[in-house]
Amino acid sequence: MVVVSRSAYRSIRAKRLGCKKLRQRDVAHPCSYGEVGEADPGPFVTSSREVQSLWSGVSSFSKLRCVSFAKASAPADDVRKIVRTSRSTDAPIPALMERALAAATLAPSINNTQPWIFQAGTQSAQIVLRADYSRRLHEADPETRQLIISCGAALTNLLAELHASGIRTTTAFRRPSGRSPDFALVSLAKAGAGSDRDDLDLADAIPRRFTARSAFGPDPVPVTLLDVMIESASAGGLELSPITLERDAFAALHRRAHRIQERNHALARETAAWTRHDASARDGIVPATFGRDSTVNRDLHLPQRDFAINREIPTAQSRERSGWETLVVLASAGDGPEDWIRVGRELERLLLIAAGRGVMASYLNQCVEVSPLRESLRRTLGLAGVPQLIMRLGFPAGEPGPLSPRRPLREVVRIQEQLPRSIVDVFSISRTKARGEEWVVHVDS
Ligand SMILES: Cc1cc2nc3c(=O)[nH]c(=O)nc-3n(C[C@H](O)[C@H](O)[C@H](O)COP(=O)(O)O)c2cc1C
């Protein structure tokens, strides 16, 4: 059995039934893709270009019995579309997986690098998350701290969507490294009971969240929302602190870090390499999302990252003036990969809680990235832990523009019936070796 895209499934089934167009009652799988026996493709290979190209993809993976979800031009290529379809808890596990994987890829990531790979076993009902170190930012993120945070954020989306779909999960974690990039093994089981309100709220906010670098409107972030976010961070073992009294001292430090980064030509080249000026971009930062803080607007009190780098930005963005923004810092107890995964998971949770109330965030991370200033930041803000991310929060002033692009699932997901033992065993080994380290094995629900 292999899993194919919905369009391929429909073509195969239509051919088998000898009809041109498939009637609704002939579709055995109402979900977005179907399952086809391995012997099926033969008769269709010469008569349908769509199926032919799909199956040529399959045969190249045949040893692994692995197939990507969708081909380049299929609608399923657009992960936002997959997540926008209505959720059906009755769908078979592979269909729920597809939706959850699409949701995972909507997570925020440093420079929209989307540094993740998912390996999914449809029959074993397991998903492994792997950090894609080939997408690391050597200048902005030499330790891969923000790469791992991004992967943690993707995990939150994956789990939120699975839980909202009535799936119970157990996740085992291990410390990722360049040599051994797998960091989470998620095992899935149908829960029987429905999903609870919190899961649904989080999952529903996934397609609504975006990084808002534009000016915020006049309404302050509700104190009740901030309280919920602070509590959530604390439950996740982290410290979320609003920056209030220390705002001016922070701004001075921030501008210093911003100037240091502006003089770093290697960093500027790297940032430029991750900005995209063509409409077909699937990753990186696109001009519509640059925001107002570019070199044409350098006098801002709290400058954000300059993605335009001496290029023109849309006039509307360059003319924006600051509205009301709440500043917060997220800090962790330690500063290793375990902490970064935790930060990523909690970051996305906080962003989804906020997005559910219409509040969006963008980042002022310069002080954290310039190592000598990180300790000054900690002291200035009186933090007990290590500062990881600084965010501005607010209600976006205008209508959201185009959203950041995402890579299609076929680029980030590998599907197999069973995950190879070699992968699963790595998690069992670390489980036994690291007994007592609570982060290694974590039970979600
Ligand atoms: C760990 C991390 C660090 C980030 N740092 C910055 C930053 O310093 N400046 C910024 O403008 N955006 C930052 N972002 C936001 C990403 O650029 C954004 O998530 C990505 O472009 C995708 O866009 P989206 O969040 O709208 O989906 C960061 C995101 C993550 C997860």
Q: Which atom of ligand 1 is nearest to the CA of 153?
A: 31
Work out which ligand 1 atom sits closest to the CA atom of 145.
1
Pocket mutation for ligand 1, best pick of 360, 365, 369 (most atoms within 8 Å of C-beta): 365
With residue 386 as reference, give the H or E element that holds it: strand 386-394
For residues 269 and 388, membership in a common domain is answered with yes
According to the model, what pLDDT value does residue 94 have? Answer: 85
Residue ranges, the chain, pLDDT below 70: 1-13, 15-18, 20-76, 193, 292-300, 310-323, 434-445
- Say yes or no: 266 and 379 in one domain: yes
pLDDT on residue 317: 58
Q: What is the pLDDT of residue 375?
A: 96
Hey, is 343 helix, strand or coil? helix
**Residue 399 placed within a domain:** no
Tell me the CATH number at 430. 3.40.109
**pLDDT value of position 28:** 40
Same domain, 388 and 247: yes
> In sequence order, which residues have a C-beta less than 8 Å from that of residue 176 and are 6 or more positions away?
130, 131, 148, 151, 182, 183, 337, 341
The residue whose CB lies within 8 Å of the most ligand 1 atoms, and thus the one to mutate among 116, 211, 262, 282, is 211
The residue from 67, 86, 111 where one domain ends is: 67
pLDDT (0 to 100) of residue 57: 35
Q: Ligand 1 centroid to 371 CA: how many Å?
A: 19
Nearest atom (ligand 1) to Cα of 289: 26
SS3 391: strand
Whole-angstrom Cα distance, residue 79 to residue 77? 6
Decide if 215 is inside a domain. Answer: no
Residue 48: how many CB atoms within 10 A of its CB? 18
356/387 same-domain check = yes
In a domain, residue 214? The reply is: no
pLDDT at 429: 78
Residue 48 maps to a domain: yes
Co-location of 12 and 96 in the same domain: no
**Residue 194 located in a structural domain:** yes
Q: Residue 140 falls within a domain, yes or no?
A: yes
Compute the distance between CA of residue 229 and CA of residue 223 in angstroms, rounded to an integer. Answer: 10
241 and 325 in a single domain? The answer is: yes
Q: What is the CATH number of the domain that holds 384?
A: 3.40.109.10
- Is there a single domain that holds both residue 228 and residue 342? yes
- Atom of ligand 1 minimally distant from the CA of 307: 11
Q: In this structure, are 255 and 279 located in the same domain?
A: yes
Task: Let me know whether 101 and 159 are in one domain.
Answer: yes
pLDDT at 23: 59
Report if residue 216 sits inside a domain. Answer: no
Ligand 1 pocket (Cβ < 6 Å) reads 108-112, 146, 149-150, 153, 210-211, 213, 285, 304-305, 362-363, 365, 404
Q: What is the pLDDT of residue 181?
A: 94
Instruction: Provide the number of structural domains found in the chain.
Output: 3
User: Residue 234: what residue type?
Assistant: S
Tell me, yes or no, whether 46 and 25 share the same domain. yes
Whether residue 110 is found in the same domain as residue 30:
no
Within this chain, do residues 130 and 250 fall inside the same structural domain, yes or no?
Answer: no
Q: Does the reported pTM lie above 0.75?
A: yes
Distance (Å, rounded) from C-alpha 250 to C-alpha 381? 8
Is 402 part of a structural domain of the chain? no
23 lies in which domain range? 2-67
